[in-house]
């Protein structure tokens, strides 16, 4: 299986980037192919129909779309902003939706989230489901959030709490089966 893992944050020190790396490490142990990116690798202007009419869809949206199409499954770790989807991620989804075909139809997609707050970004994940499901992605019913993310990762990049790490591993196992059988 080929997984495309995306941090929905642009920040270099992003906890969501740490979480996709931790997930990728678990999948690597099962010999899956993985490509990890941060949203910062795909710089995009805020969607504007006039911009699109004049310039077309930006190359970085095309590149992001190609990577999603090339993967068997997508894993996104998304920050929560003010209880909802972070603007950068919504904007990237909007840009990818302007390509024909767009990459989301029937794409198995798992949502993770990390936040220094206690609520683990989970409210934001419910919002992130909406545009993805509208576009026809097969968003996995289970989601996984890491709260107190500023304390959650060991220097090697794994989750410090063995129970939390095991839970992530189990979700990844079920998501892999779901993606293989879709």
Residues of this chain that bind ligand FMN (CB under 6 A): 9, 11, 14-16, 79-83, 114-117, 119, 121
CA–CA separation, 43 vs 162, rounded Å? 35
- Work out how close the CB of 19 gets to ligand FMN at its nearest, in angstroms, rounded to a whole number: 8
Element (H, E) at 151: none
b/e code 22-47 from CB counts within 10 Å (16+ = b): bbbbbbeeeebebebbbbeebebeeb
Shortest separation between residue 116's beta carbon and ligand FMN, angstroms: 6
| 55 vs 150 by CB, closer to ligand FMN | 150
Question: Closest distance between ligand FMN and the C-beta of residue 66, in Å?
Answer: 24
Residue written as tokens 């939390």?
A: 164
Distance CA 24, CA 79 (A): 18
CA distance linking residue 129 with residue 149, whole number of Å: 21
Query: Which residue's CB is nearer to ligand FMN, number 125 or number 172?
Result: 125
Rg of the chain (C-alpha set): 16
Q: Are 146 and 15 in contact (CB under 8 A)?
A: yes
CB of 105 to ligand FMN, least distance (A): 27
Q: Provide, rounded to whole angstroms, the least separation between the CB of residue 57 and ligand FMN.
A: 26
Cβ nearer to ligand FMN, comparing 138 with 144: 144
Between 98 and 131, name the residue whose CB sits nearer to ligand FMN.
Answer: 131
Measured from the CB atom, the residue of 14 and 179 that comes closer to ligand FMN is 14
List beta partners, residue 109.
Answer: 74, 139
């Amino acid at each position: 299986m080929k997984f495309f893992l995306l941090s929905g944050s642009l920040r270099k020190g992003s906890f969501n980037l740490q979480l996709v790396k931790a997930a990728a490490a678990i999948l690597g142990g099962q010999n899956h192919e993985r490509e990890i990116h941060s949203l910062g690798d795909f710089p995009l202007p805020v969607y504007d129909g006039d911009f699109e009419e004049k310039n077309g869809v930006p190359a970085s949206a095309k590149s992001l779309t190609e990577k999603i199409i090339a993967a068997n499954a997508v894993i996104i770790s998304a920050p929560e902003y003010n209880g909802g989807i972070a603007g950068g991620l919504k904007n990237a989804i909007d840009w990818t939706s302007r390509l024909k075909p767009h990459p989301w139809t029937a794409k198995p997609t798992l949502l993770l989230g990390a936040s220094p707050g206690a609520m683990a970004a989970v409210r934001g994940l419910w919002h992130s489901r909406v545009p993805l499901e509208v576009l026809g992605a097969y968003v996995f019913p289970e989601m996984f959030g890491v709260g107190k993310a500023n304390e959650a990762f060991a220097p090697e990049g794994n989750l410090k709490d063995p129970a939390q790490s095991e839970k992530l591993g189990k979700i990844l196992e079920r998501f892999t089966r779901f993606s293989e059988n879709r």
